[in-house]
Amino acid sequence: MIKIEKKDQLVVEVFEGVVRYTLACGKDLLMAKFEYKKGSHVPPHAHSYEQVTTVLKGEQKIITKTEEEEKTIVLKEGESCIIPPNHEHEQFNLVDTETIDAWSLSP
């Protein structure tokens, strides 16, 4: 077992108005808390691993795209979504928002 103290958690502004707190990162799993300012945007991107997002506070619009379809959902406090591997996605923050995100890093 490994304890990760708050002082050891990496904090980075990844985009304007988007701050990531790396809560824990193991060999196969990454967990982070994000704080988003109202109006902030995470541009379209994709990764080879699954992502789970849970909104702790606020409201976030997520758009996913594949060759076959585009989907838009709005997550509110207490709601979650799963973004499958290799799905392009982007996030728009409708109000100040906080999320917990987890990624399965292993194939």
Query: Is residue 106 within 8 Å of 33, Cβ to Cβ?
Result: no
Domain-embedded: residue 63 = yes
Q: What is the pLDDT of residue 107?
A: 64
Domain-embedded: residue 1 = no
| CATH code for the domain of 85 | 2.60.120.10
Residue 24's domain spans which residues?
8-104
Q: What is the pLDDT of residue 24?
A: 93
Q: What is the pLDDT of residue 74?
A: 98
Smallest Cα–Cα separation from 106: which of 54, 40, 30, 45? 30
Q: What is the pLDDT of residue 87?
A: 93
Q: What is the pLDDT of residue 106?
A: 74
Report the alpha-carbon angle 74-91-98, nearest 5. 75
* Number of domains comprising the chain: 1
* CA distance between the termini of the chain: 23
Query: Is residue 17 within 8 Å of 36, Cβ to Cβ?
Result: yes
Contact partners, residue 84, CB within 8 Å, separation at least 6: 50
pLDDT tens string for the chain (107 positions)?
989 999 989 999 999 999 999 999 988 999 999 999 999 999 999 999 999 999 999 999 999 998 889 999 999 999 999 999 999 999 999 999 999 999 998 76
